[in-house]
Structure 1
Amino acid sequence: MSDQATLQSKETRGFQSEVKQLLHLMIHSLYSNKEIFLRELISNASDASDKLRFKALSDSALYESDGDLRVRLSVNKEAGTLTVEDNGIGMSRDEVIENLGTIAKSGTADFFKQLSEDQSKDSQLIGQFGVGFYSAFIVADKVTVMTRAAGVDASEGVQWESAGEGEYTIEGIEKATRGTSITLHLREEDKEFLDEWRLRDVIGKYSDHIGIPVEMWEQERDEEGKETGEGKWEKVNKAQALWTRSKSDISDEEYNEFYKHLSHDFADPLQWSHNRVEGKNDYTSLLYIPSKAPWDMFNRDHKHGLKLYVQRVFIMDDASQFMPSYLRFVRGLIDSNDLPLNVSREILQDNKVTQSLRNACTKRVLTMLERLANNDADKYQSFWKEFGLVLKEGPAEDFSNREKVAGLLRFASTETDSSEQTVSLADYVSRMKEEQDKIYYLTADSYQAAKNSPHLEQFKAKGIEVILMYDRIDEWLMSYLPEFDGKQFQAITKADLDLSKFEDDAEKEKREETEKEFASVVDRTKAYLGDRVKDVRPTFKLSGTPAVVVTDQFEMGTQMAKLLAAAGQEAPEVKYIFEMNPEHTLVKQMADEADEEVFGRWVEMLLGQAMLAERGSMDDPSQFLSAVNQLLTKG
């Protein structure tokens, strides 16, 4: 049987539905920066070369007869085509279908949502959602891809072609060389990209830093300037890995473009840190803080943004061993001279060099964030809005840097009267009252629920600031953050709250007298409720509210119980302590009630109100409603 007979027949397939929508937007929407397609295609070609270099460490035969990795651009002005060709790892038929026929990402809907909300930023979103290849359809009305995986027979080449109208064709071809060539059939209005000087300008702008040569064909000309028919491939970019250059030789624009190449993000980073370390460990790190969070930041399978190089050889994406999970938004690379070239994830797990690099990179990022917070509060606030929830995982995950991470956290508070999380713990401590030795905080379902919580009444009356926490993660965070700057945290919804240090002698004397007078009401309430509550007590922290429920100091709070329930875990029953305000009109009216049956209705109403304020729900709403209705009827 001939080689040609083994080629797979031509097949027409429909795009995944999300790709249809995406292609429609690419073709019919207006983009202010069309040249981004070329950067994305060259960047993908560079990645393919990196992957081949890594795989060839264990199988040099993958290089076949051509070990010089490069990307080549060629134009055919008569046909109106631009071709981007690499001799990297290439793709098999299944990989072509997977990579070019589908978008295997659940965040595609978010991509469309953001496109429709702000058309002016379309081009900046393309890389953020992993759809860079499809940017080719910004300028092309047809795209042809020819590819062959390295190390397989020439007859296993694959051709993929689409006009971007809902379907594509795929067929087997003969391809003598490994790698991928992408031919763009340019639209009439986009034939500026057939001009060689225009292409050179785009390459110099976006791809100068790529570590392999980007080449274009240079025609030889005679003395009169006429083409001789001869020529050669000429390197257009510097082709030197940016991180190996001296920091003083690299412009901010080059750092920004390299970030976009690494991350496939189209927005500039907020901050970066480039360091060369020599000594016990010899390595270079280039770490970036993005300006926007990726759509899948909170997915369990979210990939870390660090690439690992060893002696400038690409080893792996998603090098999660070098950065803790709460800093998974960091992008960049580490190039180590101390790890073996055949390094694997298994070797990395227990490697002392890995742990040392992880510690160093973590401290580098935290220092970067501290400088950003101290030097540019507005820029740090934009960082916090994107990544604050992730950073809140830090105190639980990284005990050694807990105080540093705590200093980077931001919250709302009663001082600012705004839902914006702008208050640092250092800000709070600087405003503490002279006699205050605790950092008071309140967790709730929302900012409005926190702001209007009855637990705040006495704090407002005494002018004591309270941190308002309303993110779902906050209760969990506080279980790992007992103190800051030597000051202990105190939840104001706990039974051990003591504000007596803020009272004068007259207030203390009055409270003691009231407690004695109210003792009989407490006993009657305990007798009625039995084991429905853990205890019944008077409280003097309320003014406009008749009653609240609180939990013991070491018992699980309401928000933690809700967090566990939302995660599908069974939480232990929360036993509340029922606290009543003896000076409130309703409580006084209840205390004067001699009829035990009516007294019980008062208890039901006040307890129900307290449960609604604390949990937003109650165990038996009908019992509460019946008591309220009967009291209203009597009234």
Structure 2
Amino acid sequence: TVGTTITLTLMEGEEEYLEPARIRQLIKTYCDFMPVPIKIDGEVANKHEAPWKKSPSSLTDEDYLEFYRYLYPFQEDPLLWIHLNTDYPFVVNGILYFPKLKPDIDITKSSIKLYCNQVFVTDNCEEVVPRFLLPLRGVIDSTDIPLNVSRSFLQGDRTVRRIADYIAKKVGDSLKALYRDDPAKYIASWQDLGNFVKFGSLNDDKFKDQVKDILIFRTTAKLGDAEEAPKVEVQTDEGDAWSDVSDAAKPATDAKGNFYTTLAEYLERNKDKHENRVFYATDEVSQATYLELFKGQGLEVLFMDSFIDTHFIPSLERDYSDVKFVRVDADLDDTLLDKDKQSEIVDPTTNKTRDDEIKEMFEKAINKPRVNIKPQALKGEGAPPAMVLLPEDARRMQETMAMIQQQEMQFPEDHVLMVNTAHPMIQNLLGLSQSTIIGADGGSSPAGDLATLICNQVYDTALMAQKGFDADGMKAFVERSNTLLTKLTER
């Protein structure tokens, strides 16, 4: 037969390389996609077909998924993929997959396999792929990447840098095309895809400029509702009939029916309500009370609740220098406050207002000097009796310090207790407190004790929306709840 015979001589102690299983493993690792079949005992031991060398038009979605499952068995299917195919000014072929990300994923570790002429080289592409694309998976095949040099030389190689720029641009172009051509699929993938886009924006200015118009955020607004979008009709071919196409023009939603918006669209839509202010939430569950308050007054809130958003929000603030980002539990917009309910003077001798008396009542009851009691009247019948607020700047400072010290952020002792003076319970509580009669022994009356208990209960209930209690805090809360219920049933 025509061909070349290569004879290998093994060193002593390396007999494992004579074992068929070991040989098959080596073939699968390094020569699995070589364009010629490799046989052991008459059986082909490699696939000898590289999907990335084929034309994208010849591959189906199932072909791409099958290849991914072969490379990364027992993993969830990818969100989407990008086929690389260029031969000028350098040769690069490959298929890159966007996997579903987890919060504990190591974004500094590459999972992309590097090949040269379909021969495996390494599964570490940190010098070839832009840093923000390291979480991607798949294959890159290029004959223009020097292989017999140090890693530090690779980082400075001009061709390697150009290949990295090409890959980043190809990824950005593909994401923009998906956003334009299939917004429903783009939105459905955004929970995981968004982390790639945001991480890339933080690490590469060129990529940030490329994707800035496709950065989207989940919103509380019901976009496309009848009151927000006009009915759209088009004339049919008959010329005298009109068809409603409003549904086709409605914005796409995710599987749960949530709408998404860009930051520019949000600012334009709300410029008359709160110009250059963005309200955002980071936890839909713990901040539910605040969200309902904002939604009840028609204020739109964006969700920035992914693990990367803590770092991404400061980047947005640098790009939108005139815009102030405020978390829903940081401060209350004037739109939420009932300015018509002015606090009248109730004690002419001291000029104390009702708000002053409410403030003093809570300060005395909870006895925490570092808690700032702030009486305000909230709009809406569903507004809670009290809310705990964390000033934006102070909270961010504490988050930064916790990150630097690599510790979990502790709930700040300096915070605001906003007491809703328009709530019936607060008004009744003030009346109960004012009915207190000092006993002969200097102690307070049962009504005064009850008012103190209720004040602490209101404070702890508001606090529960912000943080969980430790063992002592939960024990005190339960005991107080039982005592309070007992006193109320005795009346």
Question: What TM-score comes out, normalization by structure 2 length?
Answer: 0.66
Over 3 Å counting, the alpha-carbon distance change for 1:276 and 1:394 in structure 2 is closer
- Mapped pair 1:601 → 2:432: no
**How far apart, CA to CA, are the structure 1 residues paired with 2:342 and 2:208?**
40
Structure 1 residue ranges without an equivalent (≥5): 1-63, 68-149, 160-171, 183-208, 218-231
Query: Could you say which residue in structure 2 is the equivalent of 1:66?
Result: 6
Query: Could you say which residue in structure 2 is the equivalent of 1:620?
Result: 473
**How far apart, CA to CA, are the structure 2 residues paired with 1:315 and 1:467?**
45
1:205-244 alignment runs, 5 A limit: 210-214=33-37
- Mapped pair 1:441 → 2:275: no
Query: Could you say which residue in structure 2 is the equivalent of 1:304?
Result: 110
**How far apart, CA to CA, are the structure 2 residues paired with 1:604 and 1:155?**
76
Contact 1:409 1:425 (8 Å CA) reproduced: yes
Query: Could you say which residue in structure 2 is the equivalent of 1:158?
Result: 16
Counterpart selection for 1:180 from 4, 15, 23: 23
**How far apart, CA to CA, are the structure 1 residues paired with 2:424 and 2:43?**
91
CA-to-aligned-CA distance 1:72-107 (integer Å, 9 cap, x gap)? xxxxxxxxxxxxxxxxxxxxxxxxxxxxxxxxxxxx
Over 3 Å counting, the alpha-carbon distance change for 1:420 and 1:303 in structure 2 is farther
Query: Could you say which residue in structure 2 is the equivalent of 1:584?
Result: 423
Deviating more after overlay: 528-537 vs 457-466: 528-537
Over 3 Å counting, the alpha-carbon distance change for 1:632 and 1:402 in structure 2 is farther
Q: CA offset at residue 590 of structure 1?
A: 2.4
Contact 2:219 2:303 (8 Å CA) reproduced: yes
Query: Could you say which residue in structure 2 is the equivalent of 1:121?
Result: none
**How far apart, CA to CA, are the structure 2 residues paired with 1:269 and 1:624?**
45
- Mapped pair 1:272 → 2:82: yes
Query: Could you say which residue in structure 2 is the equivalent of 1:465?
Result: 300
Structure 2 residue ranges without an equivalent (≥5): 26-31, 224-252, 346-351, 437-443
Q: CA offset at residue 259 of structure 1?
A: 7.9
**How far apart, CA to CA, are the structure 2 residues paired with 1:508 and 1:327?**
53
Q: CA offset at residue 534 of structure 1?
A: 3.8
Query: Could you say which residue in structure 1 is the equivalent of 2:376?
Result: 539
Q: CA offset at residue 272 of structure 1?
A: 1.8
Name the SS for the 1:536 alignment partner: strand
Over 3 Å counting, the alpha-carbon distance change for 1:297 and 1:552 in structure 2 is closer
Over 3 Å counting, the alpha-carbon distance change for 1:539 and 1:358 in structure 2 is farther
Contact 1:406 1:484 (8 Å CA) reproduced: no
Q: CA offset at residue 287 of structure 1?
A: 4.1
Instruction: Report the identity percentage.
Output: 19
1:380-395 alignment runs, 5 A limit: 380-388=186-194, 393-395=199-201
Over 3 Å counting, the alpha-carbon distance change for 1:521 and 1:305 in structure 2 is same
Counterpart selection for 1:432 from 270, 288, 292: 270
**How far apart, CA to CA, are the structure 1 residues paired with 2:53 and 2:67?**
18
Q: CA offset at residue 464 of structure 1?
A: 1.8
Question: What TM-score comes out, normalization by structure 1 length?
Answer: 0.53
**How far apart, CA to CA, are the structure 1 residues paired with 2:289 and 2:199?**
29
**How far apart, CA to CA, are the structure 1 residues paired with 2:473 and 2:79?**
52
Contact 2:217 2:303 (8 Å CA) reproduced: no
Contact 2:385 2:423 (8 Å CA) reproduced: yes
- Mapped pair 1:499 → 2:334: yes
Aligned length: 415
Counterpart selection for 1:286 from 90, 94, 106: 94
Query: Could you say which residue in structure 2 is the equivalent of 1:130?
Result: none
When the two chains are superposed, the root-mean-square deviation of aligned CA atoms in Å is 4.8
CA-to-aligned-CA distance 1:165-190 (integer Å, 9 cap, x gap)? xxxxxxx76x9xx98258xxxxxxxx
Q: CA offset at residue 433 of structure 1?
A: 5.5
Q: CA offset at residue 286 of structure 1?
A: 3.1
Name the SS for the 2:179 alignment partner: helix
Q: CA offset at residue 548 of structure 1?
A: 0.6
Name the SS for the 1:318 alignment partner: coil
Deviating more after overlay: 380-389 vs 606-615: 380-389
Instruction: For CA contacts below 8 A with separation 6 or more, give which structure has more relative contact order.
Output: 1
**How far apart, CA to CA, are the structure 1 residues paired with 2:152 and 2:9?**
26
Name the SS for the 1:520 alignment partner: helix
CA-to-aligned-CA distance 1:129-153 (integer Å, 9 cap, x gap)? xxxxxxxxxxxxxxxxxxxxx7733
Q: CA offset at residue 448 of structure 1?
A: 4.3
**How far apart, CA to CA, are the structure 1 residues paired with 2:213 and 2:364?**
45
Contact 2:398 2:409 (8 Å CA) reproduced: no
Query: Could you say which residue in structure 1 is the equivalent of 2:58?
Result: 251
CA-to-aligned-CA distance 1:503-543 (integer Å, 9 cap, x gap)? 8xxx5343576995312322443355454544111234464
Name the SS for the 2:23 alignment partner: strand
